[in-house]
Chain A
Amino acid sequence: MQQTIAQKIIAKAAGADHVSVGDIVTCAVDLAMIHDSGGPRRVKPILERLGVGVWDASKIVLISDHYAPCVDAESAAILKLTREWAAEHNILNFYDQQGICHVVTPERGHLGPGMFAVGGDSHSPTGGAFGAYMFGIGATDMAGVLATGETWIRVPGTIRINWTGAFGPGVAAKDMALKMCAALGMDVGDYQAIEYGGDTVAGLDMMERMTLANMAAELGAQTGIVAPDEITAAYVTNAGADPGNWQVFLSDAGADYLAVHEFEAGQLGPQVAAPHSPANAADVGDADKAHIDQFYIGACTGAKLNDLQMAASVLKGRKVAPGKRLTVAPASSRILAEATRNGTMQILMDAGANLLPTGCGACAGYGVGTLAEDEVCLASTARNFQGRMGAKTSMVYLASPYTVAASAVTGTITDPRELLGDAP
């Protein structure tokens, strides 16, 4: 019986030889990732009510990112509670204000191929980039996992999305993700598993694969998986992951897919999604010349090392347009350190960017850098629902770091290829 990666990982976690699509099975969880917003402050009262502790502290990764850094007494109290809970439950894998959970978890070696993992955040499919089955759940579901080490899952079908060919300069995985949102819609995933394939995907580095997997959430999938290969192995080895936790699963030839979608990378240009949906994406040339107040390079989706380098490749020797603000929130402290060492940050600072501490920042409207009534932002983030980044009348356009950087220079939505081909 041919199976997909998703079925194989779920079967392993369920202790079964084989699972069929539609089966409801109980799985042992290899990794539970939680953050300061949906984590301790929500699960603590539930675990206390149940009268239990955590099932295995070594399998829990706790990261403060949503309210990092704190900006008032309420957010300070949330971070304090987070630290106290970590100490109380002896959570050694606790990263306090070191970056965004989806980036820090693999960066610190907690993720590897074949793992069955849950995260208390909707962008948890990011872990699928590593050949793991990782998906987001709510806080009460998470409390159940922390208490028992298990969760239920309906075995998903798999939707295969193939990308072939090479995309040109100024185009990135973010554009692939936005293109899929527009072409396929935000419910194509139907809470099934997406499996990304084709030579374009095989050629992407881990950070670009993470962007693709991350935005499987915007396609409505439970997760977005990339088959593990040498690139995956090199990353997880370098991150210090325990090889004892890996198990490489690949989809069998002839495995059943619910659907197969094909895209040509060579035809892909920079994409911009207008408010209030990623599915509003269109070619940058067709984007309206909206007034933009804030240009934002941030989030798990859009502020990894390569994202900062994309922005720097456009901003080198250039300045942010007068009267505009470019705000940068690196996705982790390690990324910030590396981007400082290799000169990327210098380019961004020289261009006039203002730097926020690492964390989720303005992306979900929880942290620093949020928008006032009627303000408009062009962001490298994943999601632009109404009011997401602040006040309810604020608006967000989405694009790649290249496009955000190029637009910050001109002050209006701009095709980055116009600047990349014409270095100052």
Chain B
Amino acid sequence: MTLSGRVWRFGDDVNTDVIAPGIYMKSPLEEMAEHCLESVDASFAAMVEAGDIIVAGKNFGLGSSREQAAQVLKHLGVAAVIAPSFGGIFYRNAFNWGLPAIVCTAIDGIQMSQRIEVDLAAGSISNLDSGESVASDAIPEHLMGLIDAGGLVPYLEKTLKS
């Protein structure tokens, strides 16, 4: 599976409290999504487009187990998140919502707004603007199964029937 899209660049330790702020946890997902990452980049929720890819620093998604963090990113059209490491619960939640979370330590050459192409199975990221290619960790097979199914619920729908 190959994805290509425009990059949103974030720093280290982007936590789930800023991705999906607690005070909007009673609100419909659409409203919560309007406040996604607002304390880090006030333009993000309004400007992000379907197919965009987040490239962030280490420990993306640390903190609360609220899966709305993965859900709002998916809702806003984010196609994948790439980071050197992830908060463990966010990592699971992302795949459960069909959002690929890709581990890659060689992200320094990727800049805001550049276009990149990601090959999930091969574990490679090509920077279409700079021409540079870097290796990412391949997504484990059982998690690729979740991505192929579109998330854990459709996956369970299939497996519980069979």
Interface residues of A (CB under 8 A from B): 24, 37-38, 42, 46, 49-52, 66-67, 74-75, 78, 120-122, 124, 136-141, 143-144, 147-148, 152, 186-187, 190-191, 217, 220, 222, 277, 364-366, 370, 383, 385-388, 390-392
On whether the beta carbons of A147 and B96 are closer than 8 Å, the reply is: no
Chain A residues, Cβ within 8 Å of B38: 392
Stretch at the interface among B17-25, B43-51, B106-114, B117-125: B17-25
On whether the beta carbons of A386 and B153 are closer than 8 Å, the reply is: no
Cβ-neighbour of A366 out of B25, B88, B156 (below 8 A): B25
On whether the beta carbons of B142 and A24 are closer than 8 Å, the reply is: yes
Q: A74-B26, A366-B25 are in contact. Are A140 and B151 (CB under 8 A)?
A: yes
Number of interface residues of B (CB under 8 A): 37
Q: Assess whether B63 is interfacial by the CB under 8 Å rule.
A: yes
**Chain A, residue nearest B64 (CB):** A122
Chain B residues, Cβ within 8 Å of A49: 153, 157
Report, nearest first, the 3 A-B pairs whose CB atoms are least far apart. Answer: A191-B88, A138-B67, A365-B22
On whether the beta carbons of B59 and A186 are closer than 8 Å, the reply is: yes
On whether the beta carbons of A143 and B153 are closer than 8 Å, the reply is: yes
Chain B residues, Cβ within 8 Å of A46: 153
The minimal Cβ–Cβ distance linking A295 to chain B, given in whole angstroms, is 20
Q: Assess whether B62 is interfacial by the CB under 8 Å rule.
A: yes
Chain A residues, Cβ within 8 Å of B67: 38, 42, 138-141
Q: Assess whether B8 is interfacial by the CB under 8 Å rule.
A: no
On whether the beta carbons of A391 and B93 are closer than 8 Å, the reply is: no
**Chain A, residue nearest B24 (CB):** A365
On whether the beta carbons of B142 and A122 are closer than 8 Å, the reply is: no
Chain B 65-100: CB-based contact to A (< 8 A → 1; otherwise 0)? 111001000000000000001011101110011000
Chain A residues, Cβ within 8 Å of B66: 37-38, 138
The minimal Cβ–Cβ distance linking B137 to chain A, given in whole angstroms, is 13
Q: Assess whether B6 is interfacial by the CB under 8 Å rule.
A: no
On whether the beta carbons of A140 and B152 are closer than 8 Å, the reply is: yes
**Chain A, residue nearest B87 (CB):** A220
Query: Roughly how many angstroms separate A144 CA and B158 CA in the complex, as a whole number?
Result: 13
Chain A residues, Cβ within 8 Å of B151: 140
**Chain A, residue nearest B12 (CB):** A187
On whether the beta carbons of B85 and A187 are closer than 8 Å, the reply is: yes
- Provide a sorted-by-A list of 25 A–B residue pairs whose CB atoms are within 8 angstroms: A37-B66, A38-B65, A38-B66, A50-B153, A121-B64, A136-B89, A141-B67, A141-B96, A147-B160, A187-B13, A187-B85, A191-B87, A191-B91, A220-B87, A220-B88, A365-B22, A366-B22, A383-B63, A385-B63, A386-B18, A386-B39, A387-B17, A387-B22, A388-B22, A391-B23
The minimal Cβ–Cβ distance linking B103 to chain A, given in whole angstroms, is 11
Query: Roughly how many angstroms separate A49 CA and B152 CA in the complex, as a whole number?
Result: 12
On whether the beta carbons of A186 and B13 are closer than 8 Å, the reply is: yes
Chain B residues, Cβ within 8 Å of A74: 26
Beyond the given A136-B89, A147-B156, A220-B88, please list 12 additional residue pairs across the A-B interface where CB-CB is below 8 A: A24-B140, A37-B66, A49-B153, A74-B26, A120-B65, A122-B64, A143-B152, A147-B160, A191-B87, A222-B88, A385-B15, A385-B17
Chain A residues, Cβ within 8 Å of B59: 186-187, 220
Query: Roughly how many angstroms separate A75 CA and B59 CA in the complex, as a whole number?
Result: 31
On whether the beta carbons of A387 and B39 are closer than 8 Å, the reply is: yes
Query: Roughly how many angstroms separate A51 CA and B25 CA in the complex, as a whole number?
Result: 26
Q: A186-B13, A385-B17, A388-B22 are in contact. Are A136 and B65 (CB under 8 A)?
A: yes
On whether the beta carbons of B17 and A386 are closer than 8 Å, the reply is: yes
Q: A38-B65, A122-B63, A364-B64 are in contact. Are A152 and B91 (CB under 8 A)?
A: no
Query: Roughly how many angstroms separate A392 CA and B92 CA in the complex, as a whole number?
Result: 27
Chain B 131-155: CB-based contact to A (< 8 A → 1; otherwise 0)? 0000000001010000000011100
